[in-house]
Chain A
């Protein structure tokens, strides 16, 4: 049991560190991204990574209350990506 719970803790820590590193790398691409498309893509990736971090938090605390938060972030992330892209393409979001 001790081995198993240790394994869980280690896996959780590794996952937290990896997803946080991924978030930082997406942020670097957001800053240096040479073009608008790269910046939108970096923001989209950051939203997906944020969902991953929230799920990891839910596993670490053993609760389910973070489900709604990650669902709303997933929806808002998609809508905001499409809004950014449409603004660049058409100069307007709702025509």
Chain B
């Protein structure tokens, strides 16, 4: 009885935290006015938003279901590992499409690899231009 009371309060708290972070992340996705700035907001949804909902699910299944369930940690770990990779890819797409300010040139190479023309296609683009 007492345990269920406390667990209910904890589940409600984590549910509200997850809901608020999901909402804030998506509002940021909608309201920001630059592609690179927009990349920043939805990371909250992927980490704290879903993470808090998963914590709520874990507490709920401990108190009302049948014992601990640690499957949720698997989803959390997977999301935490893959979020930076997909964000990096999307940032590369934004640079590649030149929908943001092109970053200053690198010190060693001529240009960023995303904007570079591959060795095999260089001859072709030269003749195209000429």
Contacts and interface: CB of A to CB of B under 8 A. Distances in A.
A93 interface: no
Interface residues of B, number: 55
A18 B93 CA distance: 30
Given A37-B94, A38-B35, A41-B38, A8 B12 contact: yes
Contact of B23 (A4, A21, A55, A67): A21
Interface of A: 1, 4-5, 7-8, 10-12, 14-15, 17-19, 21-23, 25-26, 28-29, 34-38, 40-42, 44-45, 48-49, 51-52, 55-56, 58-59, 62, 64, 67, 70-71, 74-75, 78, 81-82, 85-86, 88-89
A7 B22 contact: no
B24 to A, nearest CB: 9
Contacts of B72: 55, 67
A5 to B, nearest CB: 7
Interface of B: 1, 4-5, 8-9, 11-12, 15-16, 18-20, 22-23, 25-27, 29-30, 35, 38-39, 42, 45-46, 49-50, 53-54, 56-57, 60-61, 64-65, 69, 71-72, 74-75, 78-79, 82, 85-86, 89-94, 96-97, 99, 114
